[in-house]
Amino acid sequence: MGYIVEMGELFLAGNYKRERLAFVKGTGTRLFTEDGEEYLDFTSGIAVCNLGHCHPELLEVLQTQAKLLWHTSNLYYLVSQAKLAEKLVELSFADKVFFANSGAEAVEAALKLARRFGYENFGKEKNQFIALENSFHGRTFGALSVTGQPKYWEGFEPLVPGVIFVKPNDKKALKEAFDDKICAIIIEPIQGEGGIYPLEKDFIELGRELCDKYNALLIFDEIQTGIGRTGKLFAYEHFGVEPDIMCLAKALANGLPLSAMLAKEKVMSALKPGTHASTFGGNPLACAVALKVLEIVSDPSFLKEVAIKGKVLKEKIESLNSFKSGIIKEVRGWGLLIGIEFYIPANEIYKKLLERKILVTQPKPNIIRLSPPLIINYREIDFFIENLKEIITLLKV
């Protein structure tokens, strides 16, 4: 194990703050090191492996497709790609789908589409974006430019111009930001990297209303919230508000690189041949797996169970305050995307969970994020709660 870590430190770019862990195998909700140590995964690879690791049905589909075709380019039609696009349209508000490989690429495609749509229909002056403070949309220049956390900008400015930031859920600021130059507003239904902050229904409803008034587009970044994570297939379903464009990635192919930008036909028509492309986007392997992912996750009984598990997990965390008050400030989120905000820095709690071989993420200094595989069972939820309870009970604060 030490050799793999040392090799990585020697030869890999230093842009990630990695734990000194190297996993060689995964199954279900568990990950295993070379030495056979077993970890309970409450991260899903940051909300990616929604069906856990090496899901047998996904593995079967992958192996079958691997024997047929890996790549031909998007100069031709592909069976699994066309079927996946059809399924996404069937399950969502959208009429058309563009495939890429990562969340940032899906966001880039959405931003380009919004500007192109504004240009074609209302002129070149309609090129401004509204984005939210505390948001995160990716690391490429376009996605970074609509990310409302200045810490990510350092050393990369000047960013793409034409972005106005407003505070989440501030309806007055949102109204003031809109005018005829706005081509789109981009929002996460739940701000993920920002610390698991759900947006309010009336704020999103106002966003939809203002987009309609000013001929702007509503973009939902569902890269972290999509594909069943919140107990609905897509988080926009919680609001009863449809976007014009939606970005998906992460869990779409359960770990294979695949993202999608979905839009209504009148909007997507602005992307004509030559305006945008992705060499590997919508490759046969990832699309075949994603089709099976959607088949499993879109089942109403599966989604209902995710919502119930999330409710149970959230309530059990909230109940821990009765054992030691003054530790947990707030528990936020929907389904199995939960943020625990502490009154104190959460790094020690994070480390203690890691020592007990439980993996979580820490998007902000005082916040622990839970995004376990959607197939997690109640015994594993109880195991997590028991360990968290012991850790916070022993904290010296």
pLDDT over threshold 60, residue 297 = yes
**In a domain? residue 235:** yes
pLDDT over threshold 80, residue 243 = yes
Instruction: Give the global pTM.
Output: 0.96
**In a domain? residue 50:** no
**In a domain? residue 88:** yes
Which of 42, 221, 234, 244 does the annotation list as catalytic?
A: 221
HSE (side-chain half, CA atoms, 13 Å) at 221: 31
* Neighbour-count burial for 15-33, b at 16+ CB within 10 Å, e otherwise: eeeeeeebbeebebbbbeb
pLDDT over threshold 70, residue 172 = yes
| Distant-in-sequence, close-in-space partners of 223: CB < 8 Å, separation ≥ 6 | 103, 106, 107, 188, 192, 247, 248, 249, 250, 259
Q: pLDDT band for position 321 (50/70/90)?
A: confident
**In a domain? residue 361:** no
- Taking residues 354-361, what's their average pLDDT? 98
pLDDT at position 269: 97
Q: Among residues of the chain, what percentage have pLDDT more than 90?
A: 95
Q: pLDDT band for position 179 (50/70/90)?
A: very high
Q: Which residue has the higher pLDDT, 393 or 356?
A: 356
Q: Among residues of the chain, what percentage have pLDDT more than 70?
A: 99
Whole-angstrom Cα distance, residue 248 to residue 266? 20
Q: pLDDT band for position 2 (50/70/90)?
A: confident
pLDDT over threshold 70, residue 332 = yes
Whole-angstrom Cα distance, residue 177 to residue 70? 46
pLDDT at position 397: 64
| Secondary structure (DSSP) of 240-280 | T---SEEEE-GGGGBTBS-EEEEE-HHHHTT--TTS---SS
218-233 per-position pLDDT tens digit: 999 999 999 999 999 9
**In a domain? residue 314:** no
Which of 136, 165, 239, 384 does the annotation list as catalytic?
A: 136
**In a domain? residue 82:** yes
Which of 87, 126, 232, 250 does the annotation list as catalytic?
A: 250
pLDDT at position 384: 98
- Taking residues 204-214, what's their average pLDDT? 98
**Host domain of residue 139:** 74-284
Torsion of CA 155, 369, 48, 154, to 10 degrees: 0
pLDDT at position 83: 98
Neighbour tally for 385: CB within 10 Å: 16
- Taking residues 304-329, what's their average pLDDT? 93
Q: What is the CATH number of the domain that holds 261?
A: 3.40.640.10
Quick check: is 244 catalytic?
A: no
Quick check: is 126 catalytic?
A: no
Q: How many domains does the chain have?
A: 1
**In a domain? residue 323:** no
Quick check: is 170 catalytic?
A: no
Q: How far is CA 91 from CA 29, 54, 228, 249, 372, in A?
A: 27, 25, 12, 16, 24
Which is nearest to 247 in space by CA: 111, 95, 120, 115? 111
Computed over every residue of the chain, the mean pLDDT equals 96
39-69 per-position pLDDT tens digit: 999 999 999 999 999 999 999 999 999 999 9
pLDDT at position 1: 54
pLDDT at position 34: 84
The DSSP 8-state label assigned to residue 150 in this structure reads: G
**In a domain? residue 53:** no
